[in-house]
Amino acid sequence: MLRIKALDEPREGQKAFEAFDMAIYSKSVFGMFTGEETTVTLEVENHMVGVIIDRFGKDISLAPVSDTHFQATVNVITSPQFIGWIVALGKNIRIVAPDALVERMREEIHRLSEQYK
């Protein structure tokens, strides 16, 4: 970066920058991966509510589904990092919707099962 100098041209992207909410964006992104944002429904054991709120914030939909579980509806970038996060939480959480993501999770579980025979 040699010979850097300021230009006498107007800055581009000012409106986009002002409209960008880093807090909302960071709640949906896992790691450095980008992709399509998807609304995901998770079924989670009640004792994990703090994990969900820590990751996605308080402005998410939470609804009880039984005495032991609740559903969380969140917007995420469905990257490999997100899939890994779900796997890491083990039996405490499962993806309920959308169907395409449930199928993607099944494929990943199968791939891992084959990898560790």
Domains along the chain? Answer: 27-115 (3.30.70.240)
Q: Looking only at Cα atoms, what is the longest distance across the chain?
A: 65
Express as a percent the part of the chain with pLDDT over 70: 85
Residue with the bigger pLDDT between 43 and 36: it is: 43
CA 31, distance to chain mean position in Å, is 9
Angle of helix 80-88 versus helix 99-115 axis, rounded to 10: 70
Instruction: Round the average pLDDT of the chain to a whole number and report it.
Output: 86
Neighbours of 101 (CB within 10 A): 20
- The angle at the Cα of 49, spanning 107 to 33, to the nearest 5 degrees, equals 45
Q: Give yes or no for a contact between 37 and 76, defined as CB atoms under 8 angstroms apart.
A: yes
The answer to whether the pTM exceeds 0.85 is no
Determine how many CB atoms are found less than 10 A away from the CB of residue 49: 13
Q: Where are the beta strands (DSSP E) in the chain?
A: 37-45, 61-64, 69-77, 93-97
pLDDT band for 50, please (50, 70, 90 cuts). Answer: very high
Under the banding of pLDDT at 50, 70 and 90, the label for residue 20 is low
Contact status, residue 73 vs residue 43, Cβ threshold 8 Å? no
Give the model's confidence band at 22: pLDDT under 50 very low, under 70 low, under 90 confident, else very high. Answer: low
Please tell me what DSSP assigns to residue 34.
-
Query: Which residues are registered as beta bridge partners of 94?
Result: 43
